[in-house]
Each structure stands twice: as structure tokens, then as C-alpha cells.
Amino acid sequence: MLKFSVQAKEKEQKKIYLQHFWDAIDEYYNQLALFEGFRCGSGCFHCCFDNPHGVSAIEVERIVTKIHAHQKKRIEMYFQDWNQLPQEDSRLRQQVWKKKCKPCPLLEDGKCSVYDVRPLACRSFFSIHNPEWCHPLHPNYQKHPQIGHDDIHSLLEKLSIQRGWSNSQDLISGLHHHMTENKP
């Protein structure tokens, strides 16, 4: 479906194929959740202390339509904090951010406020172990599988570029950029 969206000529057809893609991804993860040992579920937000990378502009566009004014202010504050971190080493920057233990700016009362449009980076982060292991300060952090989606990210990037947007970035920077570029 995603390849068809990239190849489609009409904007509305691209949108239809893209929605089919997101529906298929959701069904895939719903099926995964049926397996014994899958530990993630509603109310679990131990993994929501990250600033996911590889978030395409297509994904940011979907998310921005769902955020509220108070979340926009939080994104602005997080963006300022994010830009104070070391710029030259993205891996170090991410590690420092995780140690700050700031919850995702889109987390509300322990639940993702944009769950239905969350980015692929968040959808593919799940645990078959104790969900507490997903918290960045837990000693067993990152001892759980994360499914690779390089082909999917590549196609989302192509769609973003077709729309004239920049390459993917981290979630907070992407949201900040989209909000500042598209002010009424």
C-alpha cells in the first residue's frame, strides 16, 4: 500500500493508500499482541520517555492535527531543552535526553493522546518482557525486540519529499518545525 501511495499521481489517491497502510500496520501489531508474552497494553507508558528518531514529515503532519494548545507549549519547551543538548553526536544526545526522563509531550494522564496516529517508531516499540524494562533508567533497558522498518521508513521519506518536506528527524523537532511553518 505504501508503494502505491508513493506511485499515485493524485493527492486523494495517495491519501487513501496511506490510510490503508496505517490500517494494515495497526492490524499487524494487533496480531502480534495476541502472542503469549506480549506485555504492552493500555496504560503502560514506560517507553514514552524517548524522543523517537526517524519520524517522517508524513507522520508529523498526521500528529499535528491531533495536538492541543497546552501540548504545543510543552513541545516548545522540550524543543528548547533538546537544542541545549550536544549537537555533534546524535547517539550521545539521545542518551542524555533519556536520562532526563521527560515523558513524551503527547502523553496525557499516562496515555498517548495521539495513539491512533502515533509514528511508526512508537508503534514498533514493544516488550515481551516486564514493561518496566522499557523505562530508560531501568538496568534492563533495551533488552527487548524492536522490529526494523527500514523499507517502510524509506517509503515514508519518499512521500515526505514528494510533498516538499525535509527528511525525517526526531519527533519533537519535527512537531516544532511543522507548528512554526504552518502558523495561521
The β-bridge partners of 55 are 169
Q: Could you tell me the residue ranges of all domains in the chain?
A: 2-181
pLDDT digits (tens, 9 = 90+) for 8-60: 778 888 888 888 888 888 887 777 777 666 667 667 787 787 777 778 888 89
**Quick one: pLDDT at residue 30?**
77
Task: Report the distance separating Cα 25 and Cα 31, nearest Å.
Answer: 10
**Quick one: pLDDT at residue 71?**
93
pLDDT digits (tens, 9 = 90+) for 65-88: 999 999 999 999 999 999 898 888
Whether the model pTM is above 0.75 = no
Confidence check: pLDDT of 146 > 70: no
